[in-house]
Chain A
Amino acid sequence: MDFASSERAGAQPKEITSAKIVVAGGFGVGKTTLVGAVSEIEPLTTEAVMTSAGVGVDDASTVPGKETTTVAMDFGRITMADDLILYLFGTPGQTRFWFMWDELIRGAVGAAVLVDTRRISDAFAPLDYFENRHLPYLVALNCFDGAPRYEPEEVREALAIAPHVPLIMCDARHRDSVKQVLVGVVEHAMATLVAEQGRGFATTGS
């Protein structure tokens, strides 16, 4: 029986690696639109059920009357090769679900913080979050039709975005534009990794 199990597990000999990029931003900023523009599947929704107060460690069903909350995260997939799949995860928009962000960013390649130029102050909280995490990220300004257009440097100043954080314009509905955002995230992750290596920092991700 034991050797039969290992044969079954070994039926797919090639090890498949999966990577993820996190798409963050306020509610309704266009995260799912961005994911859908490049995903090979219609964006899917995965749900985590947890108590409104807890951090997902409690099984609420054992405590009658305790409120449960469902946190939904939309995601997409790009199969790059037989042995490489990239997933794009949108963060839950509502700020009270930030504890889910910690799970989402764990092991991620990097993140893009999507900003709607019509509601620029919605970006403060997501940017604060990433400033305090060890994960390479860039800021992507989603230019909706008719949205006020600002010079990137005006936005950088308004949001106090650090000079080392790349800032790019995009249209979350267009595949080529989204592709450039994701290329930007990966290039920034590479540059960050090289810089850390050069400074002799430990290269463990978090």
Chain B
Amino acid sequence: MGQPQLPHDPRGALVRPYAVTRGRTEPQHNIPIEAVLVASQAAVQEARFAGHDKYRIAVLCEPRPQSLAEIGAYCRLPLGVTRVLVADMVAEGLLSLHSAAPKEGFTERMDLLERVLSGLRKL
């Protein structure tokens, strides 16, 4: 499967990691590394005005859901920075956050395990 094409970042690595978050290191929610995020087409349009990094993230999450870890890897941002930006975008309505695996409830956890098992067997 092809790697997503991202808008070129002309700043390269010249900007210190937390400069893009204006020095904040604490995200608004502690988003799990595997939680997936989705951007609608409307959100991509709106993100044009939200800054370069947020726009790249929206573009990445529009055709296909991407995890926090994938966003960090494709945008070449450290995980902590990615988490702050993504949490902001969720709060701003630019990304929708989907759920990581349920941690409680026998039935919910067993249902997920069964679905994963059946998915693996079909590989």
Partners in one complex: yes
Identify the A interface with B (CB < 8 A): 4-12, 15-20, 38, 40-42, 44-50, 56-59, 61-62, 70, 73, 75, 77-78, 80-81, 84-87, 89, 103-104, 106-109, 175, 179, 182-183, 186-187, 189-190, 193-194, 197, 203-206
Which residues of B (13-58) have their CB < 8 Å from a CB of A?
16-18, 23, 25, 32-36, 38, 40-43, 46
Asked whether B121 lies within 8 Å of A183 as measured between CB atoms, the reply is yes
| The residue from A17, A46, A186 contacting B98, defined by CB atoms under 8 A apart | A17
Asked whether A19 lies within 8 Å of B23 as measured between CB atoms, the reply is no
Asked whether B1 lies within 8 Å of A41 as measured between CB atoms, the reply is yes
**A12→B100 CA distance, assembly (Å):** 16
Asked whether B119 lies within 8 Å of A81 as measured between CB atoms, the reply is yes
A205 with B34: in contact, given A12-B96, A59-B23, A183-B121 (CB under 8 Å)? no
Min CB distance A174 to B, Å, is 12
A61 with B17: in contact, given A6-B93, A47-B78 (CB under 8 Å)? yes
- Of B70, B80, B117, B120, chain A has the most CB atoms within 10 Å of the CB of B120
**A107→B119 CA distance, assembly (Å):** 19
Asked whether B65 lies within 8 Å of A19 as measured between CB atoms, the reply is no
Report the interface size for chain B: residues with CB under 8 A from the other chain: 55
Asked whether A193 lies within 8 Å of B106 as measured between CB atoms, the reply is yes
Which residues of B (84-122) have their CB < 8 Å from a CB of A?
92-94, 96, 98-106, 109-110, 112-117, 119-122
Asked whether B70 lies within 8 Å of A203 as measured between CB atoms, the reply is no
Min CB distance B109 to A, Å, is 6
A186 with B120: in contact, given A40-B1, A106-B32 (CB under 8 Å)? yes
A19 with B106: in contact, given A11-B40, A46-B72 (CB under 8 Å)? no
- Of B34, B99, B115, chain A has the most CB atoms within 10 Å of the CB of B34
Asked whether A187 lies within 8 Å of B117 as measured between CB atoms, the reply is yes
A20 with B42: in contact, given A84-B115, A179-B123 (CB under 8 Å)? no
What are 6 inter-chain pairs, A to B, with CB distance below 8 A? A17-B100, A49-B79, A57-B25, A80-B122, A85-B36, A190-B114
